[in-house]
Amino acid sequence: MKKNIIILFSFFMFVILNSQELVDIGGKQTLNIGTINKNEKFFYKQKGTKEGFELDLVARANNGNERILAKIAHFSGYQKLCDNEYFYFSIDNHYHRKTNPDLVAELFVFDIRKGVIQKVLDSLAFAASDDGLFICYCEVNQQMLKENHETLFWYLFNTKTKENKVVIDKKQKNNWDIFPPIYDSKSKKFVFEIGYDTVVTDRLVIDPYRIE
* Domains identified in the chain, total number: 2
Q: Is residue 17 part of a domain?
A: no
74 lies in the same domain as 27: yes
pLDDT single digits (tens) 145-158: 999 999 999 999 99
Residue 16: per-residue pLDDT: 38
150 shares a domain with 120: no
Does pLDDT of 12 surpass 70? no
Is residue 1 a part of any domain in this protein? Answer: no
Does residue 118 share a domain with residue 131?
no
Q: What is the pLDDT of residues 91-139, one digit of tens each?
A: 998 877 767 778 899 999 999 999 999 999 999 999 999 999 999 999 9
Let me know if residue 169 belongs to a domain: yes
Q: Are residues 172 and 83 in the same domain?
A: no
Which residue segment(s) compose the domain that 37 sits in? 22-124
DSSP result, the chain: -HHHHHHHHHHHHHHHHHHPPEE--TT-SEEE--PPPTTEEEEEEEEEETTEEEEEEEEEETTS-EEEEEEEEEEEEEEEE-TTSEEEEEE-GGGGTTT-TT---EEEEEETTTTEEEEEEE-SSEEE-TTSSEEEEEPPHHHHHHTT-SS--EEEEETTT--EEEEE-SPPGGG-EEPPPEEETTTTEEEEEEEETTEEEEEEEE-TTT--
